[in-house]
Homo-oligomer: A and B are copies of this chain.
Amino acid sequence: MADCLLGIDLGGTNIKIGCFDTTLKLIGRISVPTDAEMGPDFIVDKFYTTSKELLKQNDLSLADVCAVGIGSPGLINLTEGVVRAAPNLPLFKNVPLKDMVAKRLGKPVILENDANAACLAEHTIGAGKGSDHMILLTLGTGIGGGIISDGRLIHGPSGGAAELGHLIIYPDGRTCGCGQKGCVEAYASANSTAARATEAIQDGAPSSLAACLKEQGKITCKDVFEHAGKGDAVAKEIVEGTAKALAMVCAQLTNVTDPQSIVFAGGMIAAGDVLLTQIRRFYKQSLGHLFDRESLELCFATLGEDAGIIGASSLALAVCQ
Contacts of A169 in B (CB 8 A): 171
Chain B residue at smallest Cβ distance from A252:
B167
Identical chains bound together, number: 2
Option from B150, B158, B176 in Cβ contact (under 8 Å) with A155: B150
Contacts of A257 in B (CB 8 A): 147, 154, 156, 161, 256-257
Main secondary structure of the interface of A (DSSP, over half): loop
A258 and B178: CB pair below 8 A?
no
Chain B residue at smallest Cβ distance from A131:
B157
Contacts of A287 in B (CB 8 A): 179-180
Q: A168-B252, A291-B163 are in contact. Are A156 and B133 (CB under 8 A)?
A: yes
Q: How far is the CA of A98 from the CA of B167 in the complex (A)?
A: 37
Chain B residue at smallest Cβ distance from A166:
B255
Chain A positions within 8 Å of B, measured between CB atoms, are 75, 87, 132-133, 147, 149-150, 152, 154-164, 166-171, 176-180, 183, 248, 251-260, 286-293
16 cross-chain CB contacts under 8 A: A75-B291, A133-B156, A133-B157, A149-B156, A159-B258, A160-B292, A162-B256, A166-B288, A167-B255, A168-B252, A176-B288, A177-B290, A178-B290, A178-B291, A252-B252, A252-B256
